[in-house]
Amino acid sequence: MPIYEYVCMECESHFEELVRNGEAVSCPDCEASNVRKQLSMFAAVGAAEQPSFGGRSAGGGCCGGSCGC
């Protein structure tokens, strides 16, 4: 059973919910059923070196050297 992140379209509350097959999700704050699933990223923590993706490791974003700006 996956845990999904949601945002309530009525009160703009952000929350996580453990969802079973076909179960309807409602906001825990205002109990509205008008909620949207959010795209979430997982975090990996460790001592391994992070990939540079072919560019210099001089910072983040496009101007970190990987796009040529």
Taking only the tens place, the pLDDT of each residue in 10-24 is 999 999 999 888 889
Mean pLDDT in residue range 37-56: 71
- Domain range list for the chain: 1-40
Name the amino acid, one letter, at 8: C
So what's the pLDDT on residue 3?
A: 86
> Of all residues in the chain, what percent carry a pLDDT higher than 90?
39
Give Cβ neighbours of residue 30 (< 8 Å, ≥ 6 apart): 8, 10, 11, 13
State if pTM tops 0.75: no
**Residue 40: predicted pLDDT:** 74
User: Is 1-40 assigned to CATH 3.40.50?
Assistant: no
Task: State the average pLDDT for the chain.
Answer: 78
